[in-house]
Homo-oligomer: A and B are copies of this chain.
Amino acid sequence: MELPLSKIRVAILGYGNIGKSAEEAVQAADDMTLVGIYHHNEMDKIRPQNTDVVLLCTPTREVSAYAVPLLKQGICTVDSFDIHTEIVNLRRQLNAVARESGAVSVLSAGWDPGSDSVVRCLLQAIAPKGITYTNFGPGRSMGHTVAVKAIDGVEDALSMTIPLGTGIHRRMVYVKTCEGADKQAVEARIKADDYFRHDETHVIFVDNIDELNNVAHGVNLVRNGVSGTTHNQRMEFNMSINNPALTGQVMTACARAAFRLKHEQRAGAYTMIEIAPVYLLPDSDENNVRRLV
């Protein structure tokens, strides 16, 4: 597969934690040009004449609203949509739009969902029977933190994920309430939210969120499985990382894959397990095979 010689024109929509990290990752990529960083109300500035791929660094619940009009213009999108139970529906929706316009959407392209999903898929293939446990943290969950911040009565918040083993987690939610907010009501709203209602959740009210902030995060993904008829095949994947930096980097790598899939006329919506890993990298496949296989 020969790659086009021109650089991939990448735009960033949204400029929070992930947008800033995505900017750094795109700037560091020799095969990309950063053509613009846009706030969410500047969508109309992004045109197919100046942009190949948009990194949607917007809140997860707004991914669809931003992705659809861009895909309809034939512009590829990459998001880090992280509500696991809704990924299949988003994929169906974006796939239909992308196929019609000849564009490519890469969805749920963070580290979980995202790169962890690739590891889970690989471990499922090489030991088809068994149990995989994904243990997160300790660390700040961006998705959960954004969800708390959107709750009525919350001025600022931080949601920490604490691994309890076998894929069970505690949520430690630190909240600064708005002036005059009913703390009991705020706590009830948090615990009723889809992000929290399945987990042991503790809400702690504090005066200052900033002094608790730390974007470190991690995962311990373990599988004990069966290959053929052989049991006790043990596999483990660990990370200790800066969370937005990793998410911005994964999205940037997926922008490359989106561009290539469009170039190959394979329009549609893809999660990371549906993309050949070498598509995430610059340089020729042969050079990457030489270095990495």
Contact assessment for A117 and B292 in the assembled complex, using a CB-CB cutoff below 8 Å: yes
Contact assessment for A289 and B227 in the assembled complex, using a CB-CB cutoff below 8 Å: no
With most chain B CB atoms within 10 A of its CB, the pick from A118, A275, A286, A293 is: A293
Contact assessment for B285 and A274 in the assembled complex, using a CB-CB cutoff below 8 Å: yes
Complex formed: what's the CA distance from A229 to B21 in Å? 8
Q: Whole-angstrom distance from the CB of A264 to the nearest CB of chain B?
A: 10
Contact assessment for A280 and B235 in the assembled complex, using a CB-CB cutoff below 8 Å: no
Contact assessment for B237 and A237 in the assembled complex, using a CB-CB cutoff below 8 Å: yes
Contact assessment for B228 and A248 in the assembled complex, using a CB-CB cutoff below 8 Å: yes
Q: Whole-angstrom distance from the CB of A280 to the nearest CB of chain B?
A: 4
Q: A122-B118, A227-B242, A289-B88 are in contact. Are A128 and B249 (CB under 8 A)?
A: yes
Q: A274-B276, A293-B108 are in contact. Are A227 and B239 (CB under 8 A)?
A: no
Q: How many residues of A contact B (CB 8 A)?
A: 68
Contact assessment for B274 and A278 in the assembled complex, using a CB-CB cutoff below 8 Å: yes
Q: Whole-angstrom distance from the CB of A137 to the nearest CB of chain B?
A: 15
Q: A87-B293, A88-B290 are in contact. Are A277 and B122 (CB under 8 A)?
A: yes
Give the residues in chain B near A277, CB-CB below 8 Å.
118, 121-122, 125, 273, 277
Does A265 have its Cβ within 8 Å of any Cβ on chain B? no
Give the residues in chain B near A278, CB-CB below 8 Å.
121, 273-274
Give the residues in chain B near A111, CB-CB below 8 Å.
126
Contact assessment for B249 and A113 in the assembled complex, using a CB-CB cutoff below 8 Å: no
Does A288 have its Cβ within 8 Å of any Cβ on chain B? yes
Give the residues in chain B near A25, CB-CB below 8 Å.
227-228
Query: In this complex, what residue of B is CB-closest to A28?
Result: B228
A239-293 residues at the B interface, CB under 8 angstroms: 239-242, 245-246, 248-250, 252-253, 271-278, 280-281, 285-286, 288-290, 292-293
Contact assessment for A91 and B126 in the assembled complex, using a CB-CB cutoff below 8 Å: no
Contact assessment for A286 and B91 in the assembled complex, using a CB-CB cutoff below 8 Å: yes
